Amino acid sequence: MKQIRTLIQMTREDKDKLMQAYAGALSNDKFKKFISLLKIEDDLLMKYTSRLEDACLEYNNCSNCPGLSACKNMEKGFVLTPEQRDKTLIFTYKACHYKLKEDKDKGYLNNVYLFDIPKQIKMASMKDIYKDDANRKVIITKLVTFLKDYKNKVTSKGCYLSGSFGCGKTYLIAALFNELAKENVRSAIIYYPEFLRNLKESFDTNYKEKYETIKKIPLLLLDDIGAENLTPWSRDEILGSILQYRMDEELPTFFTSNLTLQELESHLSFSTSGVDKVKARRIIERIKQLTDEVQLVSKNRRDN
77-103 burial by CB neighbour count: b if 16+ within 10 A, else e?
Answer: bbbbebeeeeeebeeeeeebebbeeee
Q: Which does 128 bind (CB under 5 to 8 A by kind): ligand ADP, Mg ion, none?
A: ligand ADP
Q: Which is nearer to ligand ADP, 22 or 254 (CB)?
A: 254
User: Which of 290, 60, 30 has the alpha carbon at shortest distance from 160?
Assistant: 290
Distance of CA 282 to the CA centre of its chain: 34
d(CA 291, CA 255): 8
302 belongs to the binding site for ligand ADP (CB under 6 A): yes
Distance of CA 152 to the CA centre of its chain: 28
- In the complex, minimum distance from the CB of residue 67 to ligand ADP, in angstroms, rounded to a whole number: 20
171 belongs to the binding site for ligand ADP (CB under 6 A): yes
Q: Which does 270 bind (CB under 5 to 8 A by kind): ligand ADP, Mg ion, none?
A: none
Out of 23, 50, 165, 241, point to the residue binding ligand ADP (CB under 6 A): 165
User: Which of 123, 130, 78 has the alpha carbon at shortest distance from 105?
Assistant: 123
d(CA 169, CA 256): 6
Q: 3-state DSSP call for residue 13?
A: helix
Q: Which does 285 bind (CB under 5 to 8 A by kind): Mg ion, ligand ADP, none?
A: none
43 beta partners? none
Q: Which is nearer to Mg ion, 35 or 264 (CB)?
A: 264
115-154 burial by CB neighbour count: b if 16+ within 10 A, else e?
Answer: eebeeebbebeeeebeeeeeebeebbebbeebbeebeeee
Q: Which is nearer to ligand ADP, 175 or 181 (CB)?
A: 175
- In the complex, minimum distance from the CB of residue 141 to Mg ion, in angstroms, rounded to a whole number: 20
301 belongs to the binding site for ligand ADP (CB under 6 A): yes
Q: Which does 302 bind (CB under 5 to 8 A by kind): Mg ion, ligand ADP, none?
A: ligand ADP
- In the complex, minimum distance from the CB of residue 97 to ligand ADP, in angstroms, rounded to a whole number: 27
Out of 122, 142, 157, 169, point to the residue binding ligand ADP (CB under 6 A): 169
- In the complex, minimum distance from the CB of residue 91 to ligand ADP, in angstroms, rounded to a whole number: 35
- In the complex, minimum distance from the CB of residue 167 to ligand ADP, in angstroms, rounded to a whole number: 4
The stretch near Mg ion (CB under 5 A) out of 2-10, 16-24, 47-55, 162-170 is 162-170
- Answer yes or no: are the C-beta atoms of 193 and 226 closer than 8 Å: no
The count of C-alpha atoms lying within 13 angstroms of the C-alpha of 204, restricted to the half-sphere facing its C-beta, is 0
Interface mask (CB under 6 A) for ligand ADP, residues 227-266, using x and -? -----------------------------x----------
- In the complex, minimum distance from the CB of residue 182 to ligand ADP, in angstroms, rounded to a whole number: 18
Q: Which is nearer to Mg ion, 82 or 226 (CB)?
A: 226
- Answer yes or no: are the C-beta atoms of 89 and 195 closer than 8 Å: no
Out of 49, 73, 170, 253, point to the residue binding Mg ion (CB under 5 A): 170
User: Which of 10, 12, 47, 51 has the alpha carbon at shortest distance from 31?
Assistant: 51
Kindly provide the residue ranges of all beta strands, DSSP E only, lying in the chain, ordered along the sequence: 78-85, 88-95, 112-115, 158-163, 187-191, 219-223, 253-257, 291-296
Binding site for ligand ADP (CB under 6 A): 128-130, 163, 165-171, 256, 301-302, 304
Binding site for Mg ion (CB under 5 A): 170
